[in-house]
């Protein structure tokens, strides 16, 4: 796990309202929908491949202490409906990333310094709100990922949601993912086929709550 200097977070914090641990605990007492919950606890069959808990990601560094995926409660309940729909077709979801503490977004920016590829820390990411998920489809029988235009976090132009110079199977798989996610209150990001924002994300603040403080 990387050491992230507090001071960078404080620098960007002046632009933003970032909810830290004690304020987060107060918030979830007042409104249980704001709770971050562990996705696997609500959807036991979901497959996780949390790349930022490994060195197999664009930073080549381990950014998360644990291979866990969290999101706000209504986001997870919507994902559960997606998983149920997919199960009827023998398919399921594989999650690459979900809630991301704000200081990790700052660290991504320090490493890449290009807001075409990483979130601008002056705005934060919808992942910091617990309202975005990065995912793909798997075949439930084989556990294998369906063919998609690129891998997760590709910086290639093929990652764009509307990129069309692709084999038909990849286009069909991508379209299926979009359709099932949009049927349950998610919206696909134009530049990344695997990234979906939960509609209503504006109601959820940016958080800087570490995984270890979520229960
Ligand atoms: Zn994402």
User: Of 105 and 9, which is predicted with more confidence?
Assistant: 105
Distance of CA 205 from the midpoint of ligand 1 (Å)? 17
Distance of CA 118 from the midpoint of ligand 1 (Å)? 9
Distance from C-alpha of 150 to C-alpha of 161, rounded to nearest angstrom: 11
Confidence band of 15 (pLDDT split at 50, 70, 90): confident
Q: Tell me the percentage of the chain whose pLDDT exceeds 90.
A: 86
Average pLDDT over residues 39-68: 96
Average pLDDT over residues 110-121: 88
Average pLDDT over residues 115-136: 93
Distance of CA 25 from the midpoint of ligand 1 (Å)? 25
Which residues are near ligand 1, the ion (C-beta closer than 5 Å)?
Answer: 134, 195
At residue 32, the pLDDT reads 96
Average pLDDT over residues 91-96: 98
The secondary element (H helix, E strand) that includes residue 206 is strand 206-208
At residue 13, the pLDDT reads 66
Distance of CA 97 from the midpoint of ligand 1 (Å)? 7
Average pLDDT over residues 111-116: 87
Full-model pTM = 0.94
Polymer length of the chain: 215
Distance of CA 132 from the midpoint of ligand 1 (Å)? 6
Confidence band of 5 (pLDDT split at 50, 70, 90): low
Average pLDDT over residues 17-26: 95
Distance of CA 133 from the midpoint of ligand 1 (Å)? 6
Distance from C-alpha of 164 to C-alpha of 31, rounded to nearest angstrom: 43
Distance of CA 153 from the midpoint of ligand 1 (Å)? 8
Distance of CA 125 from the midpoint of ligand 1 (Å)? 8
- Render the burial of 17-37: b for 16+ CB within 10 Å, e for the rest: ebbbeeebeebbeeeeebbbb
Average pLDDT over residues 148-160: 96
| Mean of per-residue pLDDT scores for the chain | 94
- Report yes or no: 93 and 138 within 8 Å, Cβ to Cβ: yes
């Amino acid at each position: 796990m990387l050491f992230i200097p507090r001071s960078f977070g404080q620098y960007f914090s002046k632009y933003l309202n970032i909810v830290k641990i004690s304020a987060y605990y107060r918030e979830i007492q007042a409104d249980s929908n704001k709770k971050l919950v562990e996705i696997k606890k609500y959807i036991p069959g979901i497959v996780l491949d949390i790349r930022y808990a490994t060195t197999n990601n664009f930073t080549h560094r381990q950014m998360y202490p644990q291979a866990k995926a969290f999101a706000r409660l209504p986001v997870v309940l919507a994902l559960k409906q997606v998983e149920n729909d997919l199960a009827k077709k023998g398919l399921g979801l594989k999650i690459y990333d979900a809630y991301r503490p704000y200081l990790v977004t700052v660290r991504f920016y320090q490493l890449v310094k290009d807001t075409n590829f990483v979130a601008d820390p002056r705005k934060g990411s919808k992942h910091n709100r617990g309202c975005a998920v990065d995912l793909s489809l798997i075949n439930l029988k084989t556990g294998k990922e369906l063919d998609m235009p690129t891998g997760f976090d590709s910086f290639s132009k093929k990652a764009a949601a509307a990129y069309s110079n692709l084999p038909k199977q990849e286009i069909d798989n991508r379209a299926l993912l979009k359709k099932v996610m949009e049927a349950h209150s998610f919206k696909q990001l134009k530049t990344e086929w695997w990234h979906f924002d939960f509609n209503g994300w504006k109601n959820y603040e940016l958080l800087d709550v570490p995984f270890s403080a979520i229960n």
